[in-house]
Structure 1
Amino acid sequence: MSTSDVTKDGVQGQREGRDALIGQGSRKGERRRRRGERAMVPKAEFTSYYGKPVLNAPVWQAADIAGYFFLGGLAGAGSVLAAGAELTGRPAAARALKISSLAAIAGSAAALVHDLGRPARFFNMLRVIKPTSPMSMGSWLLAAYGPAAGAAAVLDVTGLFKPLGRAATAGAAALGPAVAAYTAVLAADTAVPAWHEGYRELPLVFVGSAAAAASGMALLASPVAETAPMRSAAVFGAGLELAASKLMERRLGMVAEPYRQGKGGTLIRAAEILSVAGAAGGALLGGRSRVAAAVSGAALLAGSACTRFGVFHAGMQSAQDPKYTVVPQRERANARDTAKTEGA
């Protein structure tokens, strides 16, 4: 056993690294460090918790969940545009949008059920109504919207029960904005940093993306003479999506890195290019050329899909790197300590 003795020449036999670190782990020590004293040890860097990840990433598959996001947005916004087209005397555009909304919501529900594993799990979510749960409310929203969108499309195509068809169209349009936006609320309700931290802007990103997608479908499937309002909606949707995305990235700071890097960043950049090109092409050339309208519509649809898949992959990337979970928590804790110190 090593010992140390105090002599006139100092401490003899002292073991290195055995000095007590005054103030470590205490608020008093934190205040001293804020006044300029140098910390004796570096701050801990968290990479795992007893060998396990700090955050368990979702087991969702991109084709299922990102497809569910995209198709749900296309359906909801399409119903809103279909109602507007019907009210303004654009029957071909209204019919095309009703049919596409029915196909999209059917595909969205199929993707959700495939991710859940079996249909019974979806119906089990309808056993209760929980207003504080986005999943519970979203399930009921889909259960109400799906039949309305289906009735609107079928009755329009067959020409039967026109008053009932108009009522179904209005009902689907009333639920459409919620269908387009609720998946953003669902994602932000998770612990995934890139989604959770973006809870303010992510619904606006999804709504803008949905409006651009539905407008693109109208440009792709409707006569040029009936697409003037859809071209305006495309510009609005693409502008809202781009503005909300940039605002979210600026506010998130470091947590926005997955939206700029890796697979998520690549898809987000592709979405920006396609959405801007589609909206500009539709506005400038979509009213003159059927080909230009179709190409612009396809670009808008592709841009919206890239946005949803980009957001999905950015979230998964942020869940896999512990710094996106730990660093914001540490910054918030330090800010609270500073506020308490200044208020004391």
Structure 2
Amino acid sequence: MTEGIATPGAGWRRADGWTSQKRKKNGRRSGRRAAGEVAMVDDAEFTSYYDRPIIKPPVWKTPDVPLYLFLGGAAGTSSVLGAMADLTGRPALTKVARVTAGVGSMASVGWLIHDLGRPERFLHMLRVFKPTSPLSVGTYILSPFSAATAATAAVELLGWFPRLKRFGGIVAAVFGGPMATYTAVLLSNTAVPSWHEFHGKLPFVFAGSAMAAGGGICMAFTPVDEAGPARKMAVAGAAIELTVVHQVENDDSIVSEPYHEGRAGKLMRAARTCTAAGAGLTVVAGRNRLGAIASGTLLAAGSLLTRFGVFDAGMASARDPKYTVVPQRERMAAREAGKAVRDGETRSVVR
């Protein structure tokens, strides 16, 4: 007789290493025990081999990647704001937005390279362009965007080549929108449950968060008489972010749990508080200099916390096997139910 051995998370296994999952793969029903196997504990609702993660969590590090997400998003929307301000005759807002975009883009590249470990790894990504890969497409968004924003910020500060400034600002604005949202597509294109499940919502979360950050930062450093577009962008972005984050956190799927549990939950709650307070203060006191500084700071902090919260939620879902197993079983059950309905309809037609 083969001796049964208790294992955490797996329920029971045989001494030769076969678990209940392996029996299922070989066509045996979970309710039947093979000869010589002894049940040590009740069957769990979900199982994984030795309770280990089923997917491998991304190797991206904190704080490198969340800071890259935040700075890139703020730079992207600031570049759009700078182009709009330039075309509408707001020189102070134009300068602040261009400098914010330039500094933010270069800082985001720095954090990305730091996460990669060696600078040449970033250059290696430029050797191939693959339209089906969000990472490859994102590399070709980040590269021209950072070059255009850095050059535009430099000539803005030096006062050289006014026509080149406008051209560089327009180029940066063209890539600014994709820069603010492509990272959400990149995250949701992975197998990480709490990112992949919300592939239709994360781009809106990142877009709203980037608008709140870019508008808030520019509003804080711009004279109030020229900061009207920055205030509007910040409030609109905060409204989008709060609305879509609420939908993500209250989704019926189990993979929404990491967004309101553990460290990720604390970060998301803090982000929601800062963003809501910043938006409210912008409406009430945004035309006051101190109010603009305070509200801009709160909005930028809320955006930063959102990026950290989304990142942590995804990593938590990758480490816990239930966020992979339970949705898979729900999809299998839904397919089987749909097949049963179709078979019933077919039989009724034949009769």
TM tier, smaller: 0.7 to 0.9
For normalisation by structure 1, the TM-score amounts to 0.86
Q: Give 1:165 shift.
A: 1.1
2:82 paired residue number: 82
1:109 paired residue number: 109
1:220 paired residue number: 220
Gaps of 5+ in 2: 2-23, 31-40, 344-351
Evaluate the alpha carbon distance shift between residue 331 and residue 42 of structure 1 in structure 2; reply closer, same or farther with a 3 A threshold.
farther
Q: Give 1:84 shift.
A: 1.1
User: Secondary structure of 1:59's partner?
Assistant: coil
2:156 paired residue number: 156
C-alpha distance in 1 between matches for 2:313 and 2:233: 27
Counterparts of residues 145-294 of structure 1 (less than 5 Å): 145-251=145-251, 253-287=253-287, 289-294=288-293
Decide which moves more: 255-264 or 152-161: 152-161
C-alpha distance in 2 between matches for 1:51 and 1:314: 19
Evaluate the alpha carbon distance shift between residue 26 and residue 129 of structure 1 in structure 2; reply closer, same or farther with a 3 A threshold.
closer
C-alpha distance in 2 between matches for 1:85 and 1:270: 31
Contact persistence 1:74–1:101 (CA under 8 A): yes
C-alpha distance in 2 between matches for 1:123 and 1:85: 33
Q: Give 1:48 shift.
A: 3.1
User: Secondary structure of 2:78's partner?
Assistant: helix
Amino acid at match of 2:294: V
2:17 paired residue number: none
Contact persistence 1:198–1:252 (CA under 8 A): no
The Cα RMSD (Å) is: 2.1
Contact persistence 1:268–1:306 (CA under 8 A): yes
C-alpha distance in 1 between matches for 2:329 and 2:26: 15
2:130 paired residue number: 130
Contact persistence 2:148–2:171 (CA under 8 A): yes
Evaluate the alpha carbon distance shift between residue 236 and residue 150 of structure 1 in structure 2; reply closer, same or farther with a 3 A threshold.
same
C-alpha distance in 2 between matches for 1:57 and 1:147: 32
Q: Give 1:59 shift.
A: 2.1
C-alpha distance in 1 between matches for 2:99 and 2:252: 38
1:119 paired residue number: 119
Amino acid at match of 2:94: A
Q: Give 1:96 shift.
A: 0.9
C-alpha distance in 2 between matches for 1:164 and 1:146: 16
Amino acid at match of 2:320: D
1:327 paired residue number: 326
Q: Give 1:325 shift.
A: 0.5
For normalisation by structure 2, the TM-score amounts to 0.84
User: Secondary structure of 2:102's partner?
Assistant: helix
What is the CA deviation profile of residues 174-209 of structure 1, one whole-angstrom value per residue up to 9, with x for unaligned ones?
Answer: 110100000000100111111010100000000000
Q: Give 1:42 shift.
A: 7.2
Evaluate the alpha carbon distance shift between residue 331 and residue 127 of structure 1 in structure 2; reply closer, same or farther with a 3 A threshold.
same
What is the CA deviation profile of residues 117-175 of structure 1, one whole-angstrom value per residue up to 9, with x for unaligned ones?
Answer: 10111111110100010111111111111111112111222221111110110010111
Gaps of 5+ in 1: 2-23, 31-40
Percent sequence identity is 47
2:339 paired residue number: 340
Contact persistence 2:220–2:296 (CA under 8 A): yes
